[in-house]
Amino acid sequence: MKMTFRWYGKGNDSISLKQIKQIPGCSGLMGLLDQYAAGEVWPLEVIQDYVKHVHEAGLEVEVIESVNVHEDIKLGLPTRDKYIENYKQTIENLAKCGVKVIIYNFMPVLDWLRTDLAREIPEDGSNSLYFDEEELKGMTPLEIVENTAKSSNGFTLPGWEPERLKELEHVLDLYKDVDQDKLRENYKYFLDAIIPTCERVGVRMACHPDDPAWPIFGLPRIAHSQEGYDKIVALHDSPCNTVCLCTGSLGSNPENDIPAVIRHFGEMNRIGAMHVRNVKYLGYHKFREASHLSSDGDLDMYEIMKAIYETCPDTYVRPDHGRMIWDEVGRPGYGLYDRALGIAYLNGLWEAIDKESKNK
């Protein structure tokens, strides 16, 4: 296992590489360049500068996140081919810089959704991302976008780039004729086009699940259960067609048995990367992000780490969506302190599981 940390880049993150390097057991990053809109080519020289800067800090960057898929590809519009060609070029450029895994998603329009980015946790006064479907009633998607932007503490948020959402109502209208089967058909077209490039340059694509793990605003969503992921893996049978198994996204639905899902895809060698976090259920389609400690949420982090250890021990892992604690102000979900605590906790579980295994 390689323990990593999400970092947004120099000048675009409240956290420095020096601070990340000081987290015990953290060997590298899951990096991203969020200055490029979906469909744009990520320039080779910009990627090279990013990777060089990370390496100079003594960290690896073998995983890149949020290479967003243009909406025209998901919709199956005639313009999709030019955006697919751009995507293939970005894959090649990332591979030239040592990237081995690209995390992306195929969620229509909205990548992830919360109704509050800083809901106070009564037990300790910290705050975290929060979702309550009841709060969505009577709100339009545009109002959700505006509320999210106002609550971001001045930082950009992955999946909520202004350029991509400025024509939100128009894009939502286009999806009226796209159901789950049609979305999968368009997904297969995308995978059939890019996976040969991935195989040639040695990059694995890792699909992030829907977040939360159910349909929103009537949009088709196809990646929020083991069954849904099985269908995605079957769209193009290749070791390069993998999943980014986010325990919090899938775990937002208590019907998903997260350790079992990890074992299922781990044994298939179809886990490209892992986001490991905890969630606290507060009711039907209502939850908040919790600390990584098992007892603070409703996911069994020991069983999650054990499933990783036993079925995909060489994968990349990072903590995800930490609380804001100790009066830290930063990008919601991506502060330093709670995610650093998460790494320490996950590494502690890993060490215990490793020693248990070797002493049997």
pLDDT value at position 109? 86
Give the percent of the chain with pLDDT over 90.
80
3-state helix, strand, coil in the chain (%, to 5): 40, 20, 40
What's the mean pLDDT in 65-73? 94
267: three-class secondary structure by DSSP: helix
Distance (Å, whole) CA 72 – CA 40? 13
Q: Which of 285, 279, 321, 284 is nearest to 297 (CA)?
A: 279
pLDDT value at position 260? 98
Predicted confidence band at 160 (pLDDT cuts at 50, 70, 90)? low
pLDDT value at position 113? 86
pLDDT value at position 83? 98
Least confident of 130-134, 140-144, 289-293: 140-144
Predicted confidence band at 223 (pLDDT cuts at 50, 70, 90)? very high
What's the mean pLDDT in 306-313? 98
Maximum alpha-carbon separation in the chain: 60
223: three-class secondary structure by DSSP: coil
224: Cβ contacts below 8 Å, ≥ 6 apart: 209, 210, 212, 213, 214, 249, 250, 253, 256
Distance (Å, whole) CA 202 – CA 325? 39
User: What single DSSP character describes residue 222?
Assistant: -
DSSP H stretches of helix in the chain: 17-21, 44-56, 71-75, 80-96, 133-136, 141-150, 162-165, 168-174, 180-201, 226-235, 247-251, 258-267, 301-311, 337-358
What's the mean pLDDT in 184-211? 98
242 compared with 111, residue with greater pLDDT:
242
Average pLDDT, the chain: 93
pLDDT value at position 161? 57
pLDDT digit string, tens, across residues 77-105: 999 999 999 999 999 999 999 999 999 99
Predicted confidence band at 138 (pLDDT cuts at 50, 70, 90)? confident
Q: Which positions are annotated as active-site residues? A: 208, 246, 275, 320-321, 334
Predicted confidence band at 10 (pLDDT cuts at 50, 70, 90)? confident
User: Dihedral of CA 290/242/64/162: which sign?
Assistant: negative
pLDDT digit string, tens, across residues 322-339: 899 999 998 899 999 999
pLDDT value at position 150? 74
